[in-house]
Amino acid sequence: MTQTNPAIAVNGLTKHYGRMTALDAVDLTVPSNTMFALLGPNGAGKTTLIHILCTILAADSGTAFIAGTDLRRHPLQARKNIGVVFQEPSLDDRLTAYENLDFHGRVYAMKAADRKAGIDELLSLVELEDWRHAATRTFSSGMKRRLEIARALLHKPKILFLDEPTVGLDAQSRAGIWSYLDKLRTQRDLTIVVTTHYIEEVEACDKVSIIDHGKIIAEGSPLDLKQQYGKETARVVPRDAAIGDELRTRYNALQTGKDGSIVIDAGTPGFADQFLAEYGTRIRQVSFDMPSLESVFLTLTGRELRDRGASDGEKRAGRKGRRS
């Protein structure tokens, strides 16, 4: 597969839930053998787009190709080229690690010798070979996630979809998951598509697309996005509501947090000295941040990246699709 035959090619993809437009003529290209991140706030259309690309949902119009296969015409063929790790756990915890993988291989009609070789390789890769015969109900959250990644890769897909792969994990487990993904990138010609609300995890991606209100509103490498949209910001905690209102009005606040903090543009020369001279005694706390992907997200959407779930329409459609 080359740049002229990308891993994912989407053109004019549209999806409605009743009167709500979840995807509005989305165009998207993901080059092969890249780490790609799709970011978006809750209800932006991110979950719908991923579900369509995973063949869980059908688009109302537009085209989507996975590894050169037309999703609408050949969905079963497309499924052979993808592996999926959903946000919600999907292992059978009554089975052992080996049995979970073996069952997956049988579903994909893998030959016995190929299943065994693949299981041995992947359990070693995710450092679970010593637990191959242990029931998965005894596994930690991090171990279960690693096993789910191994299962998604057993049939040797060309594209791996990871929907919030580290949600609910501690920092050490999160770092471990990304370490395993880095190993995969070096060992296989694999395209990885990830969604996450831990924006710091996106820094290592080759390409990032930001979706909001059903449209792709920005895309590029993390560095390109920071250079084009990033701002130096200040997060301020005022001493009282009146000062907060003054700051929001004067500085056209980018975002107001639930804790009362206010994020404002601090990119003008000498801003820190001027701001502290005027407001230093009237605020409880202030921190200054250089241009970051978080500031990019705030600038483009006016919100922090805290996608805790899909919209109601997306959730219902996703549950229906997984059952089918």
* Run of H or E residues at 129: none
DSSP state of 135: B
Give residue for tokens 């499924």. 79
Overall average pLDDT of the 96-114 stretch: 96
- In terms of Cβ atoms closer than 10 Å to its own Cβ (0-12, 13-18, 19+), residue 90 is middle
Q: Give the pLDDT of residue 290.
A: 85
**Amino acid, single-letter form, for residue 133:** H
Domains 8-226 and 231-290 share a fold: no
Overall average pLDDT of the 110-126 stretch: 94
**Cβ-Cβ contacts under 8 Å for 100 (sequence gap 6 or more):** 91, 92, 136, 147, 151
Q: Given a cut of 90, is residue 176 above it in pLDDT?
A: no
Residue 72, both tokens:
């609408």
* Confidence band, pLDDT 50/70/90 cuts, at residue 303: low
**Amino acid, single-letter form, for residue 212:** D
In this structure, the number of other CB atoms found within 10 A of the CB of residue 237 comes to 16
Which one, of 67, 91, 82, lies nearest residue 159 by Cα? 82
- Least confident range of 68-82, 175-189, 236-250: 175-189
Answer whether CATH 3.30.70 is correct for domain 231-290: yes
Q: Give the pLDDT of residue 165.
A: 83
Q: Given a cut of 90, is residue 178 above it in pLDDT?
A: no
Which one, of 181, 208, 206, 191, lies nearest residue 46 by Cα? 208
* Confidence band, pLDDT 50/70/90 cuts, at residue 187: confident
Residue pair 315/309 in contact by the 8 Å Cβ criterion: yes
Long-range CB pairs of 166-172 (<8 Å, 24+ gap) are 166/196, 166/198, 166/201, 167/87, 167/196, 167/197, 168/141, 169/141, 169/142, 169/145, 170/142, 172/142
Overall average pLDDT of the 269-285 stretch: 92
For the chain, the domains span 8-226, 231-290
Q: Given a cut of 50, is residue 320 above it in pLDDT?
A: no
Span 8-226: which CATH code?
3.40.50.300
